[in-house]
A and B are shown apart, each in its own frame.
Chain A
Amino acid sequence: MVEAQKYKPSMQLSDESRVLPSGEREFMLDVSTADLEVNMGPQHPATHGVMRVLLRTDGELVTGAQPHLGYLHRCAEKIGENVEWLQYLPYTDRYDYLSAMNNNLGYSLAVEGLMTGLEIPRRATLIRTICAELNRVASHLIAYGTYGLDIGAFTPFFYAFREREWIQALFEKICGARLTYSYIRIGGVFNDTPPGWLQEVGHFCDVFEDKWREYYDLLVENHIFVKRTADIGVISAEMALDFGLTGPMLRGSGVDFDLRRDMPYMAYGEISDAGAFDIPLGRGEKGTLGDCWDRFYVRVAEMMESIKIVRWCLDAIEPGPVLGDVPKVIKVPAGEGYVGIENPRGELGHYVASSGGKVALRCRVRGPSFTNLAVLEDLMPGTLLADSVAIIGSTDIVVGETDR
């Protein structure tokens, strides 16, 4: 009926795992040796939070890897079944804390999908788009900076934070918070933009375009960086689909798919039809298609595309209301629906089911980091210790989202 089990337990000493990335076979002496098991995490600089990877190593060679999650589990889904619809919104900020706007957006869209007859004002849609894309830039800047740190380059991290700081200042102006915004609400956005805010966003776009070139030259094309990331952690397109990878992880493997263009939500269909943005893809430029460099490149290139989207929205935005006709206590009609949006890390899905009351029946969060992380078990065996750090970094996980 089904083809044979494809699964291969990762914590085994397979013969293949003793082949070095360069293709040389590890030279085995006739001495009884045992592999060293070492815990990478939960407190380790390379795991980007509190994740633990149990590594089995033979010297510098990783022969097995097993991720252990749950150190940051905060029961988001259970809370979602116990608090009112709007009250849950601040909790969405907390799963992927680097792209809280996108989380707000995903949840709001999912709930709005059930509320028939609710109309979102156009200005709100465009402000949402601007915020989501700026947040994507901020999130990718972190990915850029921390990946540099993983590879051992410290300085790009500070440069990335300088620009991210500006985005956070912009968000602070619009909603008062710098990390957990709760700005995008069910029915629209919380309030209108303060005077001069949109102009400042435009100014930011101008400055960022210059800086982006700097970032690109500093790290992406850096010879040592390319040597460290090209041909490492190769995910083929087939494997990416099999594991259900989404977002830059999928596009890094050369699969041309972006929810914003291919299954548009909000104003993205319009923007895409206007040809305002492209979808950067991994092309195997520096090594094999789908290696760490490709994934990293996709993220860096996406920042520029986000800026283009923001510019389009800035041109199109007009005064108007920003919040639809939403009652104070939201009652959602019975029903259920799944809405997936393009989060910086992949498809952020919200499955919400309502029985018609003030509280959700089920509030499922499909975090992209969680799914993207599953690929680690397969990628890490057979690499060197430093490569395994590069691989974890290239998945760009946020542990808050893997554990929720």
Chain B
Amino acid sequence: MDFQAIHDRLVAIDAPGLVRAELPREPNKKEKDPGRSGESYVVVDSARMVDFLLACRDDERLDMKLLVDLSAADPAVDDENFWVLIQLLSIEKKHRLSIKAFLPKDNARMPTATAVHRGAQWHERECAEMYGITFEGHPDPRNILLPDDWVGHPMRKDYEFPTEYHGISCE
């Protein structure tokens, strides 16, 4: 299925939390729209993400059993939201779906997808330490790549690089 068909199907099964589909568009100089290249994705309400993933997984025509990636992005220092980016893949039907959810920076919490896809577990741990996003109900919310005592969330755009670590200067 191509993106349009997937989106139609999502609408048809009334996938929980589906907000809108975002398609690439040509730049429009009149409206000062820089345009958007790349691939299409759907925007999903972060609070209902788990239900959405479950719907995608269990619907027989979508059949997205594989969570390829779960990550986040911090678009800009002055942006209010983090993006949570999820890539789903269907082995049988051979299609992909990109999902984006917006998560307010001042309250970066969303339910964990571990119960739907266990593969999300480590990805969520990485997101949590790198962006400070709390995945509620995560079974093992420790740091994974960073040391346990690391201060701050390095992948945030406003992250200030530490000048020393355990007495070791790193300037």
Contact = CB atoms under 8 A, between A and B. Distances in A.
A209 B127 CA distance: 44
Contact of B73 (A3, A362, A366, A370): A362
A77 interface: yes
Interface stretch (A186-194, A241-249, A315-323): A241-249
B38 A243 contact: no
B39 interface: yes
B37 A6 contact: no
Interface stretch (A200-208, A216-224, A333-341): A333-341
A1 B111 CA distance: 12
Nearest to A334: B34
A345 to B, nearest CB: 14
Interface stretch (A57-65, A279-287, A304-312, A347-355): A347-355
Given A70-B147, A244-B66, A336-B38, A6 B115 contact: yes
A366 B119 contact: no
A248 to B, nearest CB: 15
A7 B113 CA distance: 12
A272 interface: no
B50 A338 contact: no
Contact of A347 (B65, B68, B115): B68
A243 B118 CA distance: 5
Contacts of A69: 144-145
A3 B121 CA distance: 16
Interface in B95-137: 95-96, 98, 114-123, 130, 137
Contacts of B50: 1-2
Interface string A352-372: 010110000110101000110
B122 A338 contact: no
Nearest to B87: A338
Contact of B69 (A243, A356, A364): A364
A77 B126 CA distance: 12
B36 A334 contact: yes
A333 to B, nearest CB: 5
A342 B26 CA distance: 30
Interface stretch (A141-149, A158-166, A174-182, A255-263): A255-263
Interface string B40-55: 0100000000110010
A314 interface: no
A34 B151 CA distance: 35
Interface residues of B, number: 53
Contacts of B145: 69-70, 73, 403
B91 interface: yes
A5 interface: yes
Nearest to A4: B115
A269 to B, nearest CB: 12
A78 interface: yes
B73 A6 contact: no
A381 to B, nearest CB: 15
Contacts of A263: 94-96
Given A115-B37, A356-B34, A241 B68 contact: no
A113 B37 CA distance: 8
Contact of B38 (A77, A241, A337): A337
Interface string A1-31: 1111111010000000000000000000000
Contacts of B36: 333-336
Interface string B84-98: 010101010011101
Nearest to B27: A333
B81 to A, nearest CB: 13
A264 to B, nearest CB: 10
Given A75-B154, A244-B119, A257-B91, A338 B146 contact: no
A10 to B, nearest CB: 9
A226 interface: no
Interface of B: 24, 27, 34-39, 41, 50-51, 54, 65-69, 71, 73-76, 83, 85, 87, 89, 91, 94-96, 98, 114-123, 130, 137, 139-140, 143-147, 154-155, 157
- Nearest 8 A/B pairs, CB to CB: A244-B119, A337-B38, A335-B37, A335-B38, A362-B73, A70-B145, A7-B139, A366-B69
Interface of A: 1-7, 9, 69-70, 73, 75, 77-78, 81, 113-116, 241-246, 255, 257, 262-263, 332-338, 340, 347, 349, 351, 353, 355-356, 361-362, 364, 366, 370-371, 373-374, 403
Given A244-B68, A263-B95, 11 more contacts: A4-B115, A75-B154, A78-B155, A113-B38, A114-B38, A244-B118, A244-B120, A337-B37, A347-B68, A351-B87, A355-B75
